[in-house]
């Protein structure tokens, strides 16, 4: 059976459906970005987007936080250290395009700095929410706009129930930025690197 004909076969097993989904995602990823991901991100930004005034307040709060902690930015930055994603402002200590090994190294060398930044930022931005994310980042959003909110929006706009979804994240610990998703009832799988992701894909296939 050809790959394209899978989509017309209503008697597919779950593993066959997963194979088709992964095949489409890999071979038609640009289409996915232009449709589902772009539409969802745009819609979430419309509903929860940070205004220009709020953005200026966040940037000012970041500068004050760096000054208060006497934080020195790394000499080498990979891409922009601050990104406006519409519904959130993201600070990444090494930049948005930093290699994983560099992120892991920085994280080990600076184990407490982001939690301290988070607390100070939260004081400066009482109407917003600052959260440590990933290995080198801090996300700033409006209150209540977290990954649980995002997963519900995806469920709504792709017409898929939460029970049919699988969320993959790397930090489900208490106060971790993936932890809110656990409360949605979505099946969750924690990964700590590419190896774990490969194991999950092999299991699903």
CATH of residue 115's domain is: 3.30.1240.20
pLDDT tens per residue, range 12-34:
455 565 566 666 655 555 555 45
Residue 100 sits in the same domain as residue 132: yes
Number of domain units in the chain: 2
Answer yes or no: do 80 and 23 share one domain: no
Is residue 107 domain-shared with residue 178, that is, in the same domain?
no
Q: Which residues of the chain have pLDDT under 70?
A: 1-48, 175
For the stretch 90-117, pLDDT in tens is 999 999 999 989 999 999 999 999 999 9
Same domain? For 68 and 126 the reply is yes
Q: Where are the beta strands (DSSP E) in 1-154?
A: 82-84, 88-92, 128-133, 137-142
pTM: predicted TM-score of the whole model, two decimal places: 0.64
Residue 8 lies in a domain: no
pLDDT of residue 9: 40
- 118 and 188 part of one domain: no
By CB atoms closer than 10 A (0-12, 13-18, 19+), residue 165 is: middle
């Amino acid at each position: 059976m050809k790959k394209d004909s899978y989509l017309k076969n209503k008697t597919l097993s779950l593993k066959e459906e997963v194979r088709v989904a992964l095949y489409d995602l890999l071979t038609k990823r640009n289409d996915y970005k232009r449709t589902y991901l772009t539409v969802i991100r745009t819609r979430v930004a419309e509903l929860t987007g940070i205004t220009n005034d709020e953005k200026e307040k966040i940037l000012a709060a970041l500068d004050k936080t760096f000054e208060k902690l006497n934080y020195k930015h790394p000499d080498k930055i990979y891409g922009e250290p601050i990104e406006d994603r519409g519904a959130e402002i993201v600070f990444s200590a090494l930049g948005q395009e930093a290699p994983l090994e560099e992120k892991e190294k920085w994280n080990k060398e600076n184990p407490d700095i982001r939690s301290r930044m988070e607390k100070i930022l939260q004081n400066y931005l009482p109407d917003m929410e600052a959260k440590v994310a990933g290995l080198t980042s801090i996300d700033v959003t409006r209150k209540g706009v977290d990954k649980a909110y995002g997963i519900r929006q995806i469920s709504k706009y792709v017409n898929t129930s939460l029970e049919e979804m699988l969320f993959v994240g790397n930090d489900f610990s208490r106060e971790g930025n993936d932890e809110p998703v656990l409360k949605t009832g979505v099946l969750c799988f924690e990964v700590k690197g590419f190896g774990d992701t490969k194991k999950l894909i092999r299991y699903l296939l």
